[in-house]
C-alpha cells in the first residue's frame, strides 16, 4: 500500500520559512517524479513544483505569483523523502500543501498525471 505522509506545516509570519517533508512508502520511490501542490480556501488545487525521479531536474509553477526563487524542491532517494523548502513566505502562500507521486507522462503541472497523494499539511502565513 502506497503512503505519502507530509509534515512540517504550521503557522509562520510573513517573511519566514518552513520546510515541508513528505515520506513515501510502498512504492519504488527512486522511480517516481514527485510533486507538491497546494489548495487555498475556496480555490482549486494548484501546481507548485516537481522534481524528477533522480532529483536532478526541478520544475516550478509559472503563475504570476510564482514561487520560483522562494521555494526549492528536492528529493532524497536514500530516505524516500521529498522536501519543499519555503522562504520569504507571503500570506498568499497560505494553503494545504500536498505531495504527490507522478505515475505517467504528461505535463508536470497536470494533477491527473499523479497517481498517489498525501493527506496534506496546513501552512498558514500571517501578515
51: helix, strand or coil: strand
So what's the pLDDT on residue 106? 81
- Please say whether the beta carbons of 82 and 97 come within 8 A: no
Measure the CA–CA gap between 101 and 99, rounded to whole angstroms. Answer: 7
pLDDT band for position 117 (cuts 50, 70, 90): very high
d(C-alpha 84, C-alpha 48), whole Å? 10
Q: What is the pLDDT of residues 9-66, one digit of tens each?
A: 999 999 999 999 999 999 999 999 999 999 999 999 999 999 999 989 999 998 756 7
pLDDT at 120 over 70: yes
H/E segment holding residue 43: none
The per-residue pLDDT for range 74-114, each reduced to its tens digit, is 999 999 999 999 999 999 999 999 999 998 778 889 999 99
d(CA 69, CA 54): 21
Amino acid 64: pLDDT = 59
| Residue 35: per-residue pLDDT | 97
pLDDT of 65 reads 67
Amino acid at each position: 500500500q502506497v503512503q505519502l505522509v507530509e509534515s512540517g506545516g504550521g503557522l509562520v509570519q510573513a517573511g519566514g520559512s518552513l520546510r515541508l517533508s513528505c515520506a513515501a512508502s510502498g512504492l519504488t520511490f527512486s522511480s517516481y517524479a514527485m510533486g507538491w501542490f497546494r489548495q487555498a480556501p475556496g480555490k482549486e488545487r494548484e501546481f507548485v513544483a516537481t522534481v524528477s525521479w533522480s532529483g536532478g531536474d526541478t520544475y516550478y509553477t509559472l503563475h504570476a505569483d510564482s514561487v520560483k526563487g522562494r521555494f526549492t524542491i528536492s528529493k532524497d532517494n536514500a530516505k524516500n523523502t521529498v522536501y519543499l523548502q519555503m522562504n520569504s513566505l507571503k500570506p498568499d502562500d497560505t494553503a494545504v500543501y500536498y505531495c504527490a507521486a507522478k505515475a505517467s507522462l504528461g505535463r508536470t503541472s497536470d494533477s491527473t498525471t499523479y497517481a498517489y497523494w498525501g493527506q496534506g499539511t496546513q501552512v498558514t502565513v500571517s501578515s
